[in-house]
Structure 1
Amino acid sequence: MIRTCDSAPSDLELRISAAFEQREALEREDVRWRIEAARAPICTAQVDEAREERVAACTAPPPDDILVVLDASRSMGWDMTVDPEILQAIERINRQVDARGNLPQNLLNQYNRLVRQAESPREPDRIDAARDALSGLLTGLSQNARLRLISFADCGRVPREEGVFGTGDASAYRQTLDSVRLRNNTALAAALDAIPRLVTAGRTADRPAAIILVSDGEDSCRGDPCAAARRLASTLPHAQVSVVSLGAGIEANRCIAEATGGAFYEANNVDRLSQRLRQTTGQLSRDECEAIVDEEIAVEGQE
């Protein structure tokens, strides 16, 4: 039936009309909100405060008790700038090692060929770069500071205690770094588990400890470094582990820093390695720290 001009609107027509009015109201509210948001001043106070906190953390001096945990695995003899495809191929083979540490002959041949490529002389070896960067740490420490150096590698063996050094022991410290011998495997989890037996600091707030882990890869002894880091944090609640990862893209060890309240750094060249190690011991200037923090904020903004 056709409705005349003076007929009352039907329920359906009323509902349609109400829906249109509601939609128009929502659109008007959305436009109003966008205009107000555009007119609102941009608050930078919180951003500046967060940036300042990061700069302050970068320049903060370390505790007097410092432990350097140095990876002495064979891969530390590789070049600093190894082709990532070679590293990925080696890692794929490593995953096929059996419980006894053996590989089929064809994979072993392939592995040895890849390792020779990784060891071909182009840039300084990772261990040489680490020695050079670590040797400079003593000069920026306080007179009361003590730096203990341990190295780790072999499966089933405790880390080697290389020595304890003060600011006046630079020559002996460098000689010790140079004498660290590379071995097979990467017993990273075992090294973390051994730390509470090697240090007395880190158990109370009045005597904190700074632990610096320098490594280029994952645990290869069927250990769980993430779980070991959680155990370490429970035993030494006032010890922070800063992880300096030699090479890019090695994220597996980030959990160690996160579990202990430390920081995770990547160092894929010699200059970056030296800078990151100085950062872990509060030896960078404010200008250097501001440049690092601004770079990190810029990268985070792109993610």
Structure 2
Amino acid sequence: MKDLKNIMILTAAALSVIAMGIATYVFMSNTGKKYTESVVSYPKNGTEKSIFASNGRDSYLCCTEGDNYSVYFTDKDSFDKLPYDCPQNKRIIRMAVDDDGNCSMLIYSASTEIVDGAPLSMLTGETTEIDVIDKTGKMLSRTDVSAFLTSENVPSSFETHDSIYYAMDCAGNAIVGSVLDGMGNVMSFDVDGTVTAVDDAKDEIVTVVLEDETSYLKSISDSGEELWKAELPKSACKYGICDQTDGKIYLYNKELGVYVYDIKKKKIIRLYENPEVALGAGINDDHICILYDGDEDYELHFIVPDKL
């Protein structure tokens, strides 16, 4: 059965002056599972996406507006600029949305130089902090984490479920640390291969590891012992770990789409195939949000698959 079969338009309604519109569809995936997909477009109004983070329901977008950085909260019903200002001479380099919809922002001190007539930010490593805000932009906490995260130790993935404990990959290793001690005593796990994504949940640490140009999903214990390993479909893009729930691990690949790994069945299943390369995604159990970049709009796809 082909993807995008039996399309049925259910509703189409204008959201607001800001939103271009919303439409909901029902699709049949190649796994035989149905899913609903709602599409919402918001005009860019001169902004450009810098960082996107989502938990599948609540999403945050860090945008550049000329030389300025702004943070927006967005969901199916809104695209709101938040009253949050990134500290001067600093840059938001990673964001993560926890299970309650709060956004953690990893912020590095930076300097700006003009290179070939364009501004270029350089991380200085003087200070590093994590700011946590809610959906209204209210500051919930600010923690200095310079004890571990420096300009020479920059994670490429950044995940949290509670805005207290964070899972990252630094220099190819899996890292778990807490803001309770300012990341002063992180746990570092040396996994075979190069770690490209980490998530910490329950009694296991799950990683995506690159070995000889092949990505694997690996689970390791708190002591660093490898518990199991599963090969992932080949892609030129990295996999991100978005959620773990009820014996399933949800993964996202900007090129290929959304996958779920069933631990009990030891099976990888594609839930959603990307029609084009996306800007980012977030997943929380039965809710998926994917961001696509249009010429004039940001296009958000909200997807709810059938339960597996």
Q: Same fold (TM over 0.5)?
A: no
Q: Which has the larger radius of gyration?
A: 1
Greater per-residue helix proportion: 1
| Range into which the TM-score falls when normalised by the shorter chain | under 0.3
- Give the alignment's TM-score, normalised by structure 1: 0.27
Bigger RCO of structures 1 and 2 (CA < 8 A, at least 6 apart): 1
- Give the alignment's TM-score, normalised by structure 2: 0.27
Greater per-residue strand proportion: 2
